[in-house]
């Protein structure tokens, strides 16, 4: 065993899964899980959807409870943020003055929402934590008009939830086609159409210049000279890695903790990083990559646990990117890299709400797939990307999956 005490800094999905993976891999030393929030660790994807809509309560999205921590012999140190990492002394200093010593440390502090440029006064929200979701849920319960600034996944999910709750919703984004950079114009336009069909006032190609007023009575000035009223404002303009606390550590910090393909911080023997804060050497993509994906954090946790327990047989992290979003009755799943130079649209023959778009790499291999309400395509895409399938071959498979089947043939 290379390490006696493994300290995990960050208690979201990457941190909790690393603790669990260490035990599953046979680690018999001490495991310490440090979290800045006082409450038990929770899953974040439901915050902008089921938790915000009031369909589930906070206790229903816990990643681990006290009994689970006891069963796995994990020491929970919650309610105080890490503020300094001393790699020479192998210690983590917490905000409350506690010093935690380690033999191996795993950095899993995630990312935080980019702050609102218009201040954080009452009625203007970001959504990244449970506290954010609960506070926004209370404001939405009062009704009125919701303005969402930013048409990325978080903004779009909040807009969809607002409509489900019966609010009037306006969604604003400076891009003429939201998410076109990562998904391509075809899919971006479909998002616009989806929200417009559900009654969202979509304002694209304009930015927000000013937000005046207070909760219940905001006046929002746009860059095209127009203005609109809102009761509540949600700002969803991206996320940034929580790496500022590592500035004095001596680690290579550049849009996250720079790691090798084994998820180990470069130049360090016993420092690892997982999840949104990790910028790793991605062999599949040929460069450093930071992925804000739930599944990436889970996969990295397994890699790190293996490499701590079995350092003589190191495991590299070579992910197939996967992310999903639930909006209205669409389950949108993205595998690999979408928005590439070539695409083909294949629709299911019986419903317009089940379709997929495949994207090619520059050398004509499959690069990525966006699938809506079509899980079989997602399974095929993950397999195809893992096996370096050509784009032409995958298009043939899509056409087979889309072809009408006789009644005895089941459903695609």
- Which of 214-218, 369-373, 379-383, 405-409 shows the lowest per-residue confidence on average (mean pLDDT)? 405-409
- End-to-end C-alpha distance for the chain, whole angstroms: 48
Residue 1: which pLDDT band, with cuts at 50, 70 and 90? very low
The span from the CA of 211 to the CA of 125, in Å, is 12
Integer angstrom CA distances of residue 239 from 187, 210, 236: 22, 21, 8
Domains and CATH numbers, the chain: 5-112+239-309 (3.50.50.60), 115-235 (3.50.50.60), 329-409 (3.30.390.30)
Task: Give 315's contacts (C-beta < 8 A, 6+ positions apart).
Answer: 262, 303, 306, 307
Task: Give 407's contacts (C-beta < 8 A, 6+ positions apart).
Answer: none
CB atoms closer than 10 angstroms to residue 233: 25
CB atoms closer than 10 angstroms to residue 160: 27
To 10 degrees, what angle do helices 153-164 and 130-140 make?
A: 40
Q: Which residues does residue 356 pair with via DSSP β-bridges, in sequence order?
A: 346, 371
User: What's this model's pTM, rounded to 2 decimal places?
Assistant: 0.92
C-alpha closest to that of 359 among 332, 389, 330, 379? 389
- Report the relative pairing of strands 330-336 and 271-273 from DSSP bridges: unpaired
pLDDT above 80 for 401: yes
pLDDT (tens digit per residue) in 123-143: 999 999 999 999 999 999 999
Length of the chain as a residue count = 412
């Amino acid at each position: 065993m290379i390490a006696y005490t493994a300290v995990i800094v960050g208690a979201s999905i990457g941190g909790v899964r690393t603790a669990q993976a260490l035990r599953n891999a046979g680690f018999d030393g001490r495991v310490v899980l440090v979290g800045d929030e006082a409450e038990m660790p929770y899953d974040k994807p439901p915050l902008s959807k089921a938790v915000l809509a009031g369909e589930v309560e906070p206790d229903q999205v816990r990643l681990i409870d006290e009994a689970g921590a006891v069963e796995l012999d994990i020491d929970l140190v919650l309610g105080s943020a890490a503020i300094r990492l001393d790699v020479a002394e192998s210690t983590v200093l917490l905000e409350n003055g506690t010093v935690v010593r380690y033999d191996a440390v795993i950095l899993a502090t995630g990312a935080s929402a980019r702050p609102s440029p218009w201040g954080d006064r009452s009625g203007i929200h970001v959504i990244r934590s449970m506290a954010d979701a609960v506070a926004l849920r209370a404001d939405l319960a009062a009704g009125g008009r919701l303005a969402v600034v930013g048409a990325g996944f978080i903004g779009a999910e909040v807009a969809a939830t607002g409509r489900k709750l019966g609010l009037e919703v306006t969604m604003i984004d400076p891009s003429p086609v939201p998410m076109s950079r990562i998904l391509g114009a075809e899919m971006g336009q479909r998002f616009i159409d989806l929200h417009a069909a559900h009654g969202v006032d979509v304002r694209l190609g304009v930015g927000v210049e000013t937000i005046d007023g207070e909760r219940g009575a905001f006046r929002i000035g746009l860059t095209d000279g127009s203005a609109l009223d809102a009761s509540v404002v949600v700002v969803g303009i991206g996320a940034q890695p929580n790496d500022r606390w590592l500035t004095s550590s001596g680690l290579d910090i550049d849009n996250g903790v720079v790691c090798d393909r084994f998820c180990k911080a470069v130049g360090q023997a016993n420092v690892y990083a997982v999840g949104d804060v990790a910028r790793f050497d991605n062999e599949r993509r040929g460069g450093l990559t930071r992925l804000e994906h739930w599944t990436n954090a889970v996969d990295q946790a397994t890699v790190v646990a293996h490499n701590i327990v079995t350092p003589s047989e190191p495991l590299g992290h070579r992910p197939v990117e996967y992310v999903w979003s639930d909006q209205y009755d669409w389950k949108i799943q993205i595998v690999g890299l979408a928005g590439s130079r070539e695409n083909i649209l294949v629709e299911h023959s019986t419903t317009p709400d089940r379709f997929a778009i495949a994207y090619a790499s520059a050398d004509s291999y499959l690069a990525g797939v966006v699938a809506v309400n079509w899980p079989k395509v997602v399974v095929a895409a993950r397999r195809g990307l893992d096996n370096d399938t050509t784009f032409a071959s995958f298009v043939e498979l899509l056409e087979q999956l889309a072809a009408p089947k006789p009644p005895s043939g089941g459903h695609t």
